[in-house]
Structure formats: C-alpha cells, structure tokens
Structure 1
Amino acid sequence: MQRYFKFKELDTNYRQESVAGLTTFLAMAYILFVNTSVLSAAGMDEGAVFVATGLASAIGCLVMGIWANYPLALAPGMGINAFFAFTVVLGMGIPWETALAGTFMSGVIFFILTLTKVRETIINAIPEQLKLAVGAGIGLFITFLGLQNAGIVVEAAPGTTIVALGDITAPSTLLAFLGIIVTAFFMIRGFQGGIFYAMIITSMVGIIFNLIPLPSGIIAPVPSLEPTFGKLFGHIGDLFTPEMLVVIFTLLFVNFFDAAGTLMAVARQAGLIKDGKLPRAGKALAADSVGTMVGAVLGTSTTTSFVESSAGVAAGGRSGFTSVVTAGLFIVALFFSPLLSVVTPAVTAPALIIVGVLMASALSGIKWDEFENAIPAFFTVIAMPLTYSISTGIALGFVLYPLTMVFKGKYKEIHPVMYILFVIFVAYLGWAV
C-alpha cells in the first residue's frame, strides 16, 4: 500500500496521512448537514439526502484517492446545491427528479470532455473575468440565502421595498447571529474545521436555551436511501427542453471550472505540480465527474472537489491515502443522522454566509478599471441574488461580454465558442421572459 500511494516518493507516512484525512473531514463535515438542509427545501426526503450526501462524498473521495492518488476530497458542492434547489426546482418549477437527471447528464458530459482535448478548448474559450464573476456571484447568492434563513433579511411589506431587515431580536435570529460571530472567530483565528465547530457550538447553545429540541439520540441506523435512489432514470426523457439544456450547461460550467481551480490550488499547495503541469490531471477531473454521476443516482446535487482539502494538505496530506481516510469518516458519519434534528436553519445559515464570503473573494481578481470586463462581470454577480437565479446571472454575463468586447474593438480576442454561447443565452433570456 505504501508503494501504491508512493509514500516514500512523497515523503509521507500512515500517521501523517491519517491526521490529514481527519483534518480534511472536520473542515468539510458541515456539508452533511448544510447540503441536507438546502436540498430538503426543494422537497427531497431529509434522511435520504443525508445518506446520499455521505455516500457520494465517500465514493468521490475513494475514486480521487485510489485512482488519481491526490489528497483531494469531494462532496456535494456549495453554491451549486443552492442553484439546484432554489433556481431549478423552486424557481423554474422543475421536479427534483428531473434536476437530478440534469445533474447526471452534466457529469456524463464532464467525463467525456475530460477524456478529450475539448476540455482545453472550453477552458480557453471562457474568459477569466467571467469565471471569477460566476464564483463571486454564487457567493453572494448563497449569502443571501443564509441571511434569509437566519431571519436577518425578510420579504418586505406589500407596497414598500422588496426586502427588509427582519426582527433581529427574535430568538432564532439571535442564535444565527451568535453562529456568525463564532464562525467568524474560528475563521479569523485560522481554526481548521471552524465552520463545523461553530455549528456544534451554535447547536449546543440553542439546546441550552430551548430554541432547538434535544435529538432522540446520537447514533441510529442509517436512514433509507429509497426516496431518492435512482429516481432520476424515469426523467431522462425530460431533459430535452430549452430550460433543461441551460440548466445542464450551468451545472457543467460551474463544476468544470470549480473542479479545475480547486485541483490546481490544492496541488500547488501540496507541491505536486511538476514543471508547471499537473500529473494525472485527467484522472483527477474524471474523479469529479464520476462523483457527480454517482451522487445524482444516489440523490444529491453535483459532487465536486472541496477547497477545504487544503486543510488536510496543511496537516501533511500528500497522497490519495488522505482522501481514503476522509472517505471512511464520511461512512462512519452516516450513523449520526439523529443530529439532523438539531441542525436548524439558524445553525446552517452562518455556514452559508461565511462560505459566501469565501467565494466572494473572487471579486478582487476582476479588472474593474476595464469597463469591457467590469460591466459583464458586475451584471453576472449582481443578477444572481437579485433575480434569485444563478443561471440568469450567467446568461446576462455571457450575453454582455461579447457586446462590450466588440464595442471596445477587441472582437478578435473573443473565442468563437463565446459567440455560440451568446446566441444560446440570448434565446434563453428571451424564452425565460
């Protein structure tokens, strides 16, 4: 096993890799509860989503660790789960079974692209400014969701503004404020797994002050996966509509660039990049697509690489054995489903808000002094929370970018693929209206 994972070559050992795997798990364990909360809002069975989240994470980690041999952990992605639940299911009125079918199809396309040179073509076609804007916009979107779940932002009274400040003296809102403060403290002080620890503390305070009921237990049999398992297969035929094609593209786009960016960042931190290139990059990206396909069959949104893997790398993780350890811990976590009852919206809201802060950091990379970049980037970012739709934000950005570049006289710098996407998204926006 040491030879397979190249312990000697990577200067690591079992203890170092195990500690790294545990560190990574603690840094991302919050996804078990937050993803369950987000997807259950779309009408999916809570217990089944919890199990699907854990299994998809475990399988994704195993594929990444054993096949690609990278200390990179996978789980259903934040932001893209909000797109699945609030834009696709609740916003467009698409059944969650059909949305899972779209997720599965995006994984299939991702896998095919990974095996071909089309991958490089697409990566080069999408301008960096739009990639950054999409990430930042999703960050604002899930922060908005978090503020709503916390009761900090509410729907305004008819005839006034659209949204307003909620009752910040309400007990549940005060509990959410406490969660935000505790999470901020852990993040500022550099605690690995700060989001997870803050959720535990917030839940305990809620129980002490009778804001959250005591769980029926700590350990229990794993909930049934039957309510979500394989439900997508009866809806594959529903994918061939304009709205679902845009949904599939959005899922593919976000996962593709999120996975590539996370992979490069974590690999660079671990010192695994050789001569400016990443060995086994195809296998690593393929692991993402396999995780997405498996996760969709199980009953969860897109499974992708987690930047929290950097916590494990910082703890010494260098090989895929780190991901194998993380996978094992996700399996063990499935027996703690009773804890779902204490993870209320007030507990998960701070996680959404802080993750939004992390994603919004992409704003710093946008060239605000170049209006041909700033205008499409700004519309991409601001439209996501204001229209309550990630796909609308992406569509506006992809429509405006070719126009502003042509106005600037930089039409030769626009990749032909962007003109094709321009036509597609113009048609989508016209259809959506």
Structure 2
Amino acid sequence: MDFLAKFFKLEEHGTTVKTELVAGLTTFMTMAYILAVNPGILGSSGMDAGAVFTATALGACLGTLFMAFFSNYPFALAPGMGLNAFFAYTVCGVMGYSWQVALAAVFMEGILFIIMSLTKIREALFNCIPVSLKLGVTGGIGLFIAFIGLQNSKIIVDGPCLVGLYPFRQALADGSFHSTGIGAFLALVGIILTTAFLIKKVPGGILLGILATWGLGVICELTGIYIPNPKLGMFSVLPNFSNGFSIPSLAPTFMQLDFSMVGTFNFIAVMIAFMFVDLFDTLGTLIGVASKANMLDKDGKLPKIEGALMADSLATTVGAVLGTSTVTTFVESSTGVAVGGRTGLTSLTAAVLFLLSLFLAPIFLAIPAFATAPALIVVGFLMVGGLAKIDFEDYSEAVPAYMATIFMPFAYSISEGIAFGVIAYVAMNLLAGNSKTKKINWILYLLAIIFILKYIYM
C-alpha cells in the first residue's frame, strides 16, 4: 500500500489508497454497461459477439492502464458510445463497408492521433472549434444513441410515417406480445428504474438499471411471460454455462483489419469522421471531468494533458487491433472523481476490474437488448444536457449546433451531423460577416471544404 501511495503521489493529491480504490470501483460500476452494450451494437455489423466482448474488456483494461501510468489521472477508457454506433450502423450499415475496413479506419485514426498528440495538433484542433458546435455534436450523439436504444428495445418500430410506437394492442392480438412486446415494456420499466437510481445518486445507477431490467426479463422467461423468438431477434435471457466461465476467443476479430480501401476518398471521409467525434468527445470529457476535480490551472488548461491524449491515442490503436471500435475516455469517470478519486490509482483499480470481467462472459452475453436499451436512452439524455449551455440568442452559433444535433438522429448518421454542423457554421458566419470578428480558424474552413467535396463526389 505504501508503494502505491508513493508511486501515484496520493499525499500530494490529498487522497488515500482506500479512497482511490472506492473511486475505481465506482467508475467501473458506471462504465461496466459497455461490456453488455458493445457486443450487441458491433455484433449487428457481423462481428462475433463473444470476440467483441473480450476485445471490449481488454481494450478498456489496457486503455485505462495507459491513462494511469502516462498521466496519473483518474480517468477510465473503453469503446465509446456513439462511436460504436457510427461504426456499426453508419460505416457498416448505411455505407456498406465491412467491419474489417471499419477497424482499419479506427486503427489509422489512432495512428494519426498518436502523431497529433506528439505534435500537440490535437490541442490546436480543439481550440479552433467553436464551443457551441462541440455541444451540438455531443447532443446529437446523445439523441442518436437514444434512438438506437428505442429501436433495439422495439419501443420504436417501422411505421406508416417511417417510424412509430410499438403496437401493443395489435401484438396482444397476434401473439407477438410475449416476445417483442414484453421486451419493449420491460425497457420502459428499465428507463424509469435507471432514472430513479440516478435521482437517488446510487453508485453504478446505469449498471444497476441494466441488471434490474435483465432480472425482470429472467423472471418473465422462467414464468413463461417472455417467450424467446430468435426470428424476431428476441433470444433467451438465461446465461449459457455449457462452456463454463471460459473467456470467449479473440481470434474472430484479432488483427482482422482490411486496409484495401486506404487512400480512397470515402475511407478518408470515414476516418475523418471517426477522428472528429473522438477528438472532441475525448478532450471535452477530459476538461469536464478535470474541472469537477479542480484539476485545471488558472488558465483553464489541464496540466499533463499530453500524457492523457497519448493514452487515449494508443488505446484507440490497440483497440482496433483487438477488434473493437474507438476506445476513448469515458465521461462516467466523473463518478469516481465525485467520490474522491484524484490519481492514476483510481484508473488502475478500474482497469483490473475490467480484466476480471473477462471471466464472466456467459453472464454479460446473456443480457438482452431490451435491458441495455435503458442505458443507451439515459446516457443519451446525459449527453443532450450540454445543449443548455448554447447561446440560442446568437443564431450564428445556435443554428449550426442545431443542425449538427438534428441531422445525427434524422439522417441516422453521426458523420452527416458533423458535416452539416461544420458547413453551416462556416457558411452562416461568412454570410453574416462574422468571419473576422469571430476569427474562424483556417482549419475549420478546410474541414468545411472537405465535407462539401464529400457530398459532390460521394
């Protein structure tokens, strides 16, 4: 214990080993839902769910270890929400690329981020993007993953007006209620339970919401109320221990990167989209969580941010090799900070717990989509909250942020929201004559041109 205290400089940061261990456990509890959610989301792209589970746990473990030892900050990393949705539903779904090509784009993003971190370009990029647009992107991602949660749980289904509410009455008549209907109903219950946990500030409220909803599903299946129907995408919620607690093989996804599309315009566009979302998600999280912990200096900057950015960059690259979408810093790290976590010992604790979770694969892989949907919807709510910080009286700031926000769920694409937000910001401020007063950085002009060319030649 004395070694840990000295290594992580606990006394200097006004904390103790016990406090750091509790903080690490709290952070893990609030993040552990990714172990259940990520295999389901990436599995929709054709990836092996078991391999993705293993890649998710290892990627989170290694990324968080990088953060602990490179920066000594209490931040934890894992495959990012929103980024995994972009990977599965936009790149592999709408755009039609294989998941192997998508992994290659994530890998290349990580390599570029390593270079950018070494040269401090990431900090410069962050400083050139308007705060309002960052908030709009974050809010849009929140709406997007909430919409995905509503769809995965069958609460929202195809309808005569493109989408509609699940037809509970019709389902009771045709008998499908005992599979899809029960799932949708339990998801609604899960949203209420998860929100109640957050209101009561219960540590690990999101994870507990998943477990509670899953527990209700288990009860429903054992009593015959819930009837699994694989044809409808509704599977058994009971863990399969036929193979014991063995760790799912990583082979189906390990080093399965396809670089055949590198150099093409669309591949570059996908890579830039990954970079854009990850860049501002990571930096925003670092600054936001550090602010709550009073880690920022008098100029509002985060000391030793280079180490944190390098940890994030390496985590992304290693995660792609393992077989998962972009590994990034989680905003849920703020829960560990809230209970006193101030050093890398908090991160180290969370990393060890992610490693131990590998042995619980049968349990995590049995968690159904209707149990993880509340987490997606509630996390979406937390991300949307940042929109309140936008000055809606200044249309040149608010409208581009609004464009970024609405295009993500309505176009079913994070990249489209980012593109329209950037283009709108540059175009509106140029037409309004604000280009000089707001001193729009040349990098923002370049991004706008790249996105416009994408629509011309796509």
TM-score by length of 2: 0.90
Is 1:396 aligned with 2:420? Answer: yes
Q: 1:406 offset after TM fit, Å?
A: 1.3
Identity rate, percent? 46
Provide the C-alpha distance between the structure 1 equivalents of 2:189 and 2:366, rounded to a whole number of angstroms.
16
Q: Which runs of 5+ in 2 are unaligned?
A: 170-180, 227-235
Report the counterpart of residue 62 of structure 1 in structure 2. Answer: 65
Is 1:45 aligned with 2:48? Answer: yes
Q: Which runs of 5+ in 1 are unaligned?
A: none
- Aligned pairs for 1:246-325 within 5 A: 246-276=269-299, 277-325=301-349
Contact 1:225 1:298 in 2 (8 A): yes
Q: 1:213 offset after TM fit, Å?
A: 3.6
Contact 1:288 1:303 in 2 (8 A): yes
Is 1:207 aligned with 2:218? Answer: yes
Provide the C-alpha distance between the structure 1 equivalents of 2:127 and 2:344, rounded to a whole number of angstroms.
29
Q: Deviation string for 1:342-364 (max 9, x for gaps)?
A: 31111111111011101111211
Report the counterpart of residue 189 of structure 1 in structure 2. Answer: 200
Q: Which amino acid aligns with 2:198?
A: M
Q: 1:70 offset after TM fit, Å?
A: 0.7
Q: 1:167 offset after TM fit, Å?
A: 2.3
Report the counterpart of residue 21 of structure 2 in structure 1. Answer: 18
After the TM superposition, list the runs of 4 or more consecutive aligned residues in structure 1 that deviate by more than 6 angstroms. Answer: none
Provide the C-alpha distance between the structure 2 equivalents of 1:201 and 1:357, rounded to a whole number of angstroms.
20
Q: Deviation string for 1:113-149 (max 9, x for gaps)?
A: 1111323331222211211111111111111101111
Report the counterpart of residue 450 of structure 2 in structure 1. Answer: 424
User: Of residues 30, 33, 50 in structure 2, which corresponds to 1:27?
Assistant: 30
TM-score by length of 1: 0.95
Q: Is the partner of 1:34 in helix, strand or coil?
A: helix
Report the counterpart of residue 244 of structure 1 in structure 2. Answer: 267
Q: Which amino acid aligns with 1:386?
A: F
Report the counterpart of residue 390 of structure 2 in structure 1. Answer: 366
Q: 1:341 offset after TM fit, Å?
A: 4.2
Contact 1:151 1:168 in 2 (8 A): no
Q: Deviation string for 1:54-111 (max 9, x for gaps)?
A: 0000001111012211111000111111011101011100110110010011111111
Q: 1:397 offset after TM fit, Å?
A: 1.3
Q: Which amino acid aligns with 1:238?
A: M
Provide the C-alpha distance between the structure 1 equivalents of 2:456 and 2:147, rounded to a whole number of angstroms.
26
Report the counterpart of residue 179 of structure 1 in structure 2. Answer: 190
**Could you say if the C-alpha distance between residues 35 and 341 of structure 1 is closer, same or farther in structure 2, counting changes exceeding 3 Å?**
closer
Compare 12-21 and 217-226 and name the one that shifted more.
217-226
Compare 94-103 and 307-316 and name the one that shifted more.
307-316
RMSD between superposed Cα atoms in Å: 1.5
Report the counterpart of residue 334 of structure 1 in structure 2. Answer: 358
Provide the C-alpha distance between the structure 1 equivalents of 2:288 and 2:202, rounded to a whole number of angstroms.
20
Q: Which amino acid aligns with 1:228?
A: T
Provide the C-alpha distance between the structure 1 equivalents of 2:371 and 2:344, rounded to a whole number of angstroms.
32
Contact 2:36 2:365 in 1 (8 A): no
Provide the C-alpha distance between the structure 2 equivalents of 1:23 and 1:120, rounded to a whole number of angstroms.
29
Provide the C-alpha distance between the structure 1 equivalents of 2:356 and 2:162, rounded to a whole number of angstroms.
44
Q: Which amino acid aligns with 1:336?
A: L
Q: 1:10 offset after TM fit, Å?
A: 1.3
